[in-house]
Structure 1
Amino acid sequence: MATPKQPFFNFNILILFLFLEPLQVHSVCRNFCNNIPIKYPFGVDDGCGAPQFRHMLNCTTDLFFITPSGNYKVQSIDYNKKSMVIFDPAMSTCSILQPHHDFVMTDIQSVTIPPSPDTIFVLLNCSIDSPVLNHYKSLCFNFSGHSCDELYGSCTAFKLFHLLSNSTPPCCFTSYNTVKFMSMNILDCSHYTSVYNVDSLKGVGPLDWLYGIKLSYSVPDTGCDRCVKTGGMCGFDVETEGMVCICSASNNSTIQCGAGIGMNTGTSLRQSSLLLESFMVIVLIFHLTLL
């Protein structure tokens, strides 16, 4: 009676997939999320862009900037000016009053892509005991001639503070560093909003301010230009975070695409993969003939 060969055949199929699975080469990075272009140093796929910005963006139906305090919708990215505008859906604006909320970034984000100097945070409905009105009052500054009275008088959402107290509650125009080191509870202010491009808002009423947070970033010099000029996309090794030039779905390089220095890393991996695939196919055919 012949010995059944089916289990042995299935074992070889399993071995084939186990060998081929780890050899899948980096897929091509997505360069758009909805209608927003994704370019270096950003990436929405792991291993794309610069490692300093790893896991900061998430692309579902829209593009979101991820921080410990929430997901902020990306409104635009200006690659020439190296800035990104995000909007907090839970933030108060001139037309809507939201619950108490903090804006929190990681230490890496605070260094690599902090709010720009022309973004201010407006602390609203502060108590008379607020530290920014007493010991830390130097943290508040003049914002293009605008005042708390103007905010509480012009904005539908903020009029409530004036009505409840029958006076003008203190407010504070301040920088990101204030909310970075002190929470809203410590600041003793009930709400906040943020405005960007403030240098152009002199004489402009609160109804027409640009509400949101503009972030500024710098591009790390890793030789990405050379990769892009040869048709590649800049990325990094997800384990070592070393720079990788992604040339195609099946070919990576250390420096550039095409014939040039540094091609051996990607091509040798691909050649080894092809050789092993050929070997495993021969083994598979051999065992098929034994059935």
Structure 2
Amino acid sequence: MTAATRSFPDTSISGFDHAAYLTRIGVEDPVAPTLPGLTRLMERHMAAIPFEAIDVLLGGVPDLAPSAVDLKLVTNRRGGYCFEHASLFRRMLEASGFAVETFLARVRLRTGFEGPVPPATHAVLVVSIDGESYLADVGFGGPMPNQPLRLLGDDPQETRGGVFRIRALADGRVVERATGDAWLPLYEILPLRCHPADLTLANWFVATHPTSSFRNLLMAARLDGDVRYTLAGNRFSLRRSDGEFEVRHLTAGEVMETLADQFRLPVVAEWDAAIAPALGEW
């Protein structure tokens, strides 16, 4: 599972506004295709562009065309979910000279490895730097760090967001986070490179299937430095890397204020009707 230099048709850097993206994430200068450069881009991307799937609550299927993703996440200053983040971040990395590949993953955060195998509903990026492969995931919305993780090798990796490891499986690799004396599985990366048709199908399933969490629950997340902001239904939490944790249950009005203030979204009145039924607790 290593990155290659070729790019897929739907992630072409043709027409990509490199300067607009850097302005959106608050970076003044171009970033070199190095590990420190990748880390800097990840940190600023996750601080500036939140994870959210409000369009799904509104009954839509997010448009993965590069121009649509750029308009939404860069020009209109919205957030998005994994497929949108992966599209935008991949094209930024390619424009900066990085070698990148896209992979699908099965989310294991809530179910672990018990029961039926979940569908592959998450998209991640693998970046190759100086012969080493790194996982660069800016669109999970869950407890992932805002810095790259070495893809190969099972050793624990300490980050500001906790300790992680990426363990080999028979047909892929599983990303795990240390929780006390145990390891919590987050998702299982499938070993085959992802093609545009795979992303189209996964995006449609996540946005339309009645069992999809995104259709039934408001979710938003943003990681700014060592502080993670998470909104799941009406439950707003703030977690710092030193272990400090705060949680509040919000009214509908407070939810809209929090989306604007903490997640920096351009909230509009039309969201009210769709968000109100999605304020159950996660």
Q: TM-score, normalised by structure 2?
A: 0.25
